[in-house]
């Protein structure tokens, strides 16, 4: 669209296994030692997870203990990351502005009460089918905590951001695993481009350290069960993801609005799109991604770019994505490919928001990440990319891409 408003990223909030905030993430990921990520192999055998960094203190951004008690961990870390993003954008506590700020969250479910579930299952196992129904009623009536149910609801991460941080322009929650994260950014960006919004807080959060989420993922056969290896190295053993606890939020803002209040951009979101292949035949995912690349106006670009892949490790999605990235990389001036899931784990709905945040950090710092694994797939690069392609291929559904671009480069017409 010729008169589309430029969409800038003016704030970033991150928490993950590597720590809290942009500085911690940049310093961990831009140093060469990250090829050994932080993983926990003891708590959920045979699975490993990337646990949230120790010592996250949410008291500063979520000062009310009553609020904290109403939330599950995914909500606490999510609200905290959202607060960091607002603070980074210089708008934390600016209630008149936040009352006009829109909120778009990508979410699944929050934590169930695992102890209660386990108790009920054990007691039902000893009963006849006839007795089980009324026993279940009695146990749930006595044991279910209403606040915990509110901790599980998909849209209650957004609800808690509204309550704690006062972001109240509007509130939308999108579901559907990884691609929900991209759809959230797409909805936000399109509204800014057309002038329907000026500032949007967008992101997601995942608490990976839960049996209930591991159960859901394992029913689909998605979990990596072997000793940890990087994302690109799992295909031969059938593939799989290693979940990572993380929350990522960014502030997307109309460029004129940011300039008027003196806010500096990390980068601009230059293009974003998604599609959904049926994935019935080999190559469906590659074809779908090629279509998306075309639709977001990047297909004809010859400017050098780097690639931050959100690949999960699940097959065949990961191998098909790699084939697609290699094909465009060889056709054009792609200068480096990184699967950030190797370093941070897979954060499902929050995974694409993480990727956008990492792309912004690299562009802002005028550098790119060293390889997250030692193989011919991820090669060190010398040059500084002006744009980064962030991929979002759902482990079972949805294929999406986004282009994040250096603002100065765009201003100089280097697109």
Partner 1 sequence: MTRALTDRQGRPVIVVTGMGLVTSLGWGKSQNWSRLIAGHSGVTPITRFPTDGLRTTIAGTIEAAASSTYSAFALSLAIAEAAADEAITQAGIGSPGRFPGPLLIATPPSELEWPQLRKLYEAAAGRDKSGYERLLGAARSGTFSELARHIEFASIADAVQNHFGTTGEPLSICTACASGASTLQMAAERLRRGDAEAALCVGTDATVHPEGLIRFSLLSALSTRNDAPEQASRPFTRSRDGFVIAEGAGALVLETYAHAKARGAAILGVVRGAGEKADSFHRTRSKPDGSAMIGAISKALRDADATPEEIDHVNAHGTSTPENDKMEALSLAAVLGSRLAEVPVTSNKSQLGHTLIAAGAVEAVIAFLTIGNGVIPPTINHNDPDPDLHLDVVANTGRAAQVRTVLSNSFGFGGQNVCLVLAGEP
How far apart, in whole angstroms, are the C-alpha atoms of residue 392 and residue 382?
A: 25
The first and second tokens of residue 319, run together, are 């191998």
Site for partner 1 in 176-215 (CB under 8 A): 176-177, 179-180, 183, 187, 190-191, 194, 196, 211-212, 214-215
| Binding window for partner 1 (CB under 8 A); candidates: 30-38, 135-143, 338-346, 367-375 | 135-143
Q: Could you give the C-alpha distances from 183 to 50, 146, 308, in angstroms and in order?
A: 25, 30, 18
Contact 334, 364 (CB under 8 A): no
* Sign of the CA dihedral running 83, 88, 93, 95: negative
Indicate the residue among 207 and 335 with the shorter CB distance to partner 1.
Answer: 207
Quickly count: other Cβ atoms within 10 Å of residue 32's Cβ: 9
- Nearest C-alpha neighbor of 349 from the set 206, 151, 186: 206
- Classify 402 as helix, strand or coil: strand
Site for partner 1 in 387-406 (CB under 8 A): 394, 396-400
Q: Could you give the C-alpha distances from 140 to 50, 147, 215, in angstroms and in order?
A: 32, 14, 21
Q: Does 415 bind partner 1 (CB under 8 A)?
A: no
Q: Does 312 bind partner 1 (CB under 8 A)?
A: no
Q: Tell me the angle at which helices 284-295 and 317-331 cross, rounded to the nearest 10 degrees.
A: 50
The first and second tokens of residue 188, run together, are 């936000």
Instruction: Write the CB contacts of 165 (distance below 8 Å, at least 6 apart in sequence).
Output: 61, 79, 82, 83, 86, 92, 98
Indicate the residue among 34 and 197 with the shorter CB distance to partner 1.
Answer: 197
Site for partner 1 in 9-68 (CB under 8 A): none
Indicate the residue among 145 and 365 with the shorter CB distance to partner 1.
Answer: 145
- Min dist. Cβ of residue 251 to partner 1 (A): 16
Q: Does 287 bind partner 1 (CB under 8 A)?
A: no
Chain centroid offset of residue 237 CA: 25
What is the distance in angstroms between the CA of the first residue and the CA of the last residue of the chain? 15
- Min dist. Cβ of residue 141 to partner 1 (A): 6
- Min dist. Cβ of residue 1 to partner 1 (A): 8
Which one of 39, 53, 132, 367 is in contact with partner 1 (CB under 8 A)?
A: 132
Which one of 21, 39, 68, 169 is in contact with partner 1 (CB under 8 A)?
A: 169
Indicate the residue among 163 and 415 with the shorter CB distance to partner 1.
Answer: 163
Q: Does 216 bind partner 1 (CB under 8 A)?
A: yes
Q: Does 158 bind partner 1 (CB under 8 A)?
A: yes
How far apart, in whole angstroms, are the C-alpha atoms of residue 293 and residue 81?
A: 30
- Classify 256 as helix, strand or coil: helix
Indicate the residue among 154 and 335 with the shorter CB distance to partner 1.
Answer: 154
Instruction: Write the CB contacts of 178 (distance below 8 Å, at least 6 apart in sequence).
Output: 310, 312, 348, 349, 351, 352, 392, 393, 394, 395, 398
Q: Does 160 bind partner 1 (CB under 8 A)?
A: yes
| Binding window for partner 1 (CB under 8 A); candidates: 170-178, 250-258, 330-338, 378-386 | 170-178
Q: How many residues bind partner 1 (CB under 8 A)?
A: 76
Indicate the residue among 247 and 274 with the shorter CB distance to partner 1.
Answer: 274
Which one of 2, 32, 36, 219 is in contact with partner 1 (CB under 8 A)?
A: 219
Which one of 2, 36, 125, 281 is in contact with partner 1 (CB under 8 A)?
A: 125
Q: Does 70 bind partner 1 (CB under 8 A)?
A: yes
Q: Could you give the C-alpha distances from 313 to 56, 205, 288, 318, 373, in angstroms and in order?
A: 28, 19, 18, 5, 13
| Binding window for partner 1 (CB under 8 A); candidates: 6-14, 275-283, 296-304, 305-313 | 275-283
- Nearest C-alpha neighbor of 19 from the set 355, 305, 247: 247
Q: Does 166 bind partner 1 (CB under 8 A)?
A: yes
Q: What is the contact mask toward partner 1 in residues 93 to 122, using x (rule: CB under 8 A)?
A: ----------x---xxx----x--xx-xxx
């Amino acid at each position: 669209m010729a008169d589309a408003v430029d969409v800038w990223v003016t704030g970033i909030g991150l928490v993950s296994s590597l720590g809290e905030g942009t500085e911690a993430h940049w310093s961990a990921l831009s140093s060469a030692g990250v090829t050994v990520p932080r993983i926990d192999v003891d708590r959920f055998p045979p699975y490993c997870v990337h646990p949230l960094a120790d010592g996250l203190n949410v008291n500063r951004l979520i000062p009310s203990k009553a609020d904290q008690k109403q939330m599950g961990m995914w909500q606490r870390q999510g609200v905290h990351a959202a607060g960091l993003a607002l603070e980074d954008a210089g708008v934390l506590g600016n209630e008149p502005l936040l009352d006009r700020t829109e909120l778009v969250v990508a979410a699944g479910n929050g934590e169930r009460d695992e102890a209660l579930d386990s108790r009920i299952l054990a007691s039902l196992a000893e009963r006849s089918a006839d007795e089980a129904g009324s026993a279940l009623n009695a146990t749930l009536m006595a044991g279910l905590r209403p606040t915990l149910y509110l901790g599980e609801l998909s849209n209650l991460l957004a609800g808690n951001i509204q309550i704690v941080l006062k972001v109240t322009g509007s509130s939308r929650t999108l579901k559907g695993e990884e691609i929900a994260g991209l759809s959230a950014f797409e909805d936000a960006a399109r509204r800014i481009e057309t002038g329907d919004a000026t500032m949007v807080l967008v992101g997601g959060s995942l608490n990976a350290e839960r049996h209930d989420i591991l159960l859901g993922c394992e029913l689909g056969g998605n979990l990596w069960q072997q000793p940890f290896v990087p994302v690109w190295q799992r295909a031969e053993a059938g593939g799989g993801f290693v979940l990572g606890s993380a929350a990522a939020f960014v502030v997307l803002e109309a460029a004129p609005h940011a300039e008027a209040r003196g806010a500096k951009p990390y980068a601009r979101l230059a293009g974003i799109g998604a599609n959904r292949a049926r994935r019935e035949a080999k190559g469906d995912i590659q074809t779908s991604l090629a279509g998306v690349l075309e639709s977001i106006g990047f297909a004809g670009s010859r400017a050098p770019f780097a690639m931050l892949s959100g690949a999960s490790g699940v097959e065949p999605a990961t191998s098909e994505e790699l084939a697609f990235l290699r094909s465009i990389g060889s056709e054009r001036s792609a200068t480096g490919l990184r699967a950030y899931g190797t370093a941070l784990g897979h954060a499902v709905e929050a995974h694409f928001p993480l990727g956008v945040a990492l792309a912004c950090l690299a562009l802002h710092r005028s550098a790119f990440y060293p390889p997250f694994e030692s193989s011919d797939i991820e090669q060190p690069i010398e040059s500084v990319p002006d744009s980064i392609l962030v991929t979002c291929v759902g482990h079972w559904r949805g294929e999406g891409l986004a282009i994040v671009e250096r603002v100065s480069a765009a201003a100089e017409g280097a697109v």
